Chains A and B, each alone.
Chain A
């Protein structure tokens, strides 16, 4: 935890003296730095800060340094709209980066759209986010793709025919991902033997898991967040269920292993990138991130936060300026941008089409399994 104002100061210090005369390009970032989803928000924020510092170290773009203005929304609804207005009207930012959670991205989006200022969500995977308007982009894949990837994975790699789905009904992310998974899995000839529901914050899943045990399935799909996923894995093992469990990018957090312990061994999830990827760009990013943030290993949110700032910088360079409409066109034309989370191509619906990574947990470590192209 640190003062963002200090970070801003550090960001400015990183600017070489020759550029002092140039007016900085202001970028607004909105993240859940405190509150329920602070783990995601902090990761994403650290990635973005690193990207901006690196860009400034090489002189920024168009001879102008970047100035990152970060605002917290306490993971609360209603706050993102207020800070979006603040960044747009008070700070005159040229673009907005954020949010991790789809429901909060949906709050910022209409405001960015009205102001004709491009907004890039690093990791909101719900399809509705970019449907708000033509100024709204994202640098991650969307839930239909993730659902498809996991359905294929369940069928081809896990050889599962009958699957149980445990959905968190209090999260739009979970409901959406479950829906796309089911559609694809059924279309591929699989069978959804059982559907059970829970809510975020639940601690006891024995009732649902007992029903799963009775249904006699091959695998359990849990499209939720890491806390519940870890608890479900633990309780499944306690009930003697030795089935493979698998989920989506909501599982991605060190807390999954901290809470799940041995029970999450052999579980799988899909995500945006793996720090184990041997690609040069990934390894350089991991090393830089560790050096900047006390040896912390960057997770997918950090990598996407990093990429969101880099995609924006690339678009500003190609647009030759920071005017809203020109920048929007440049962002929409993003093709073959090589980032940490793979190659980003903007599709006509302003979603990044890129490959997903499947990760498993082995000996208390996240292990890369395979990469699935779109």
Chain B
């Protein structure tokens, strides 16, 4: 059964759903809306990291760094260029504003993709723990650079970002990420990602170029992380370099591992679960994080293969 038309249909349905939800967003409780948008942004982050870490098997600890680049680039466009492009009189939520935001997101995504390309290139020579260290270092470099760069707010961060992020944008970005990553991995070309993950030497022996697959995975993954960053910034209205630190990267890695490396549906469910869990645990106040960590340990012990991985799937997915 060819899965492609189904995927397209799903993508379109998600866009419609996003439009409907966005229309209703005035009636949704702002707190629920906040959590909903947080879930959406985390899905984008987790699914895009899953392409790098899950499908291609390149362990990356720098996803928050890509997110930071996207967040700052997008915010820089809307704050510094926005007023010149659409003026102060543009209707809130109007076409001009959404066009500006869409293009800004694209620029943010591309800036992050460029960074992904730059990180992808040295990763050609590294694998496993060494690559993890390089990506970790990259994330920290981005954070420290932003901390010291006064025009973008320095350590205090960038304030007064317009609140352009709506449910529609988040659902659309989530759908686009799942659609792109899903289609990419299921395509003939994309089987190469899985081959590189399963056995790099065998993949090169079969005539595949592992280096190219890794760079493509990093670039595409970083692109969507950048979009997620842009959505985050225009939702919280404030971004600080310390918000994109190592622990943010780890949060995304945990979502991917808990969902099951390479299991897109599992990763989405894990992103939803791990965003909602801390909110549900709010009543226990200071013990929240202790409980949260205990639950994580318990879940990993119970299902080391990933919470939502029910079959041992090898290199060849259902075609």
**Chain A interface residues toward B at CB < 8 A:** 1-5, 33-34, 70-72, 74, 76-78, 81-82, 85-86, 88-90, 102-103, 106-107, 110-111, 126, 128, 132, 169-172, 174-176, 199
On whether the beta carbons of B236 and A81 are closer than 8 Å, the reply is yes
On whether the beta carbons of B156 and A172 are closer than 8 Å, the reply is yes
List, in ascending order, chain A residues with CB within 8 A of B82's CB: none
A46 CB, nearest partner CB in chain B, Å: 13
Given the known interface contacts A3-B285, A72-B286, the answer about A86 and B34 at a Cβ–Cβ threshold of 8 Å is yes
Q: Does B122 contact A (CB under 8 A)?
A: no
Interface of B is mostly: helix
On whether the beta carbons of A5 and B242 are closer than 8 Å, the reply is no
List, in ascending order, chain B residues with CB within 8 A of A78's CB: 38, 232, 236, 243
- A selection of 20 A-B contacts at a CB cut-off of 8 Å is A3-B284, A3-B285, A33-B285, A72-B288, A74-B289, A77-B236, A77-B243, A78-B243, A81-B236, A82-B35, A85-B33, A89-B29, A89-B31, A90-B29, A103-B157, A103-B238, A107-B238, A175-B154, A175-B156, A176-B156
Nearest residue (CB) in B for A77 is B243
A350 CB, nearest partner CB in chain B, Å: 16
List, in ascending order, chain A residues with CB within 8 A of B279's CB: 82
Nearest residue (CB) in B for A36 is B242
Nearest residue (CB) in A for B239 is A77
Residue of A70, A72, A176 ringed by the most chain B CB atoms within 10 A: A72
Nearest residue (CB) in A for B163 is A110
Q: Does B287 contact A (CB under 8 A)?
A: yes
Q: Does B282 contact A (CB under 8 A)?
A: yes
List, in ascending order, chain A residues with CB within 8 A of B31's CB: 82, 85-86, 89-90
The 3 closest A-B pairs by CB, nearest first: A172-B156, A77-B243, A4-B285
On whether the beta carbons of A107 and B236 are closer than 8 Å, the reply is yes
On whether the beta carbons of A170 and B242 are closer than 8 Å, the reply is yes
Nearest residue (CB) in A for B35 is A82
On whether the beta carbons of B283 and A85 are closer than 8 Å, the reply is no
Residue of B38, B155, B288 ringed by the most chain A CB atoms within 10 A: B155
Residue of B31, B35, B148, B285 ringed by the most chain A CB atoms within 10 A: B285
B161 CB, nearest partner CB in chain A, Å: 9
List, in ascending order, chain A residues with CB within 8 A of B148's CB: 169
- Taking a contact as CB atoms closer than 8 A, the residue among A5, A89, A175 that contacts B283 in the complex is A5
List, in ascending order, chain B residues with CB within 8 A of A70's CB: 285
On whether the beta carbons of A5 and B155 are closer than 8 Å, the reply is no
Given the known interface contacts A77-B242, A78-B243, the answer about A128 and B285 at a Cβ–Cβ threshold of 8 Å is no
Nearest residue (CB) in B for A103 is B240
- Taking a contact as CB atoms closer than 8 A, the residue among B33, B237, B243 that contacts A76 in the complex is B243
List, in ascending order, chain A residues with CB within 8 A of B144's CB: 170, 199
Q: Does B159 contact A (CB under 8 A)?
A: yes
Contact with A along B33-58 (1 / 0, CB 8 A): 11100100000000000000000000
Report how far A128 CA is from B154 CA in the complex, Å: 13
Report how far A33 CA is from B239 CA in the complex, Å: 21
Nearest residue (CB) in A for B28 is A89
Q: Does B317 contact A (CB under 8 A)?
A: no
Given the known interface contacts A106-B238, A107-B238, the answer about A82 and B155 at a Cβ–Cβ threshold of 8 Å is no
Given the known interface contacts A77-B240, A107-B236, the answer about A128 and B286 at a Cβ–Cβ threshold of 8 Å is no
On whether the beta carbons of A126 and B156 are closer than 8 Å, the reply is yes
On whether the beta carbons of A34 and B29 are closer than 8 Å, the reply is no
List, in ascending order, chain B residues with CB within 8 A of A128's CB: 156, 159
A27 CB, nearest partner CB in chain B, Å: 17
Nearest residue (CB) in B for A174 is B155
Nearest residue (CB) in A for B155 is A172
On whether the beta carbons of A103 and B156 are closer than 8 Å, the reply is yes
B210 CB, nearest partner CB in chain A, Å: 36
List, in ascending order, chain B residues with CB within 8 A of A77's CB: 157, 236, 238-240, 242-243
List, in ascending order, chain B residues with CB within 8 A of A71's CB: 282
Apart from A34-B288, A111-B237, A171-B155: 15 A-B pairs, beta carbons within 8 A = A2-B285, A2-B286, A5-B285, A33-B286, A74-B289, A77-B238, A78-B38, A82-B35, A85-B33, A103-B240, A106-B156, A107-B237, A110-B160, A169-B154, A169-B155
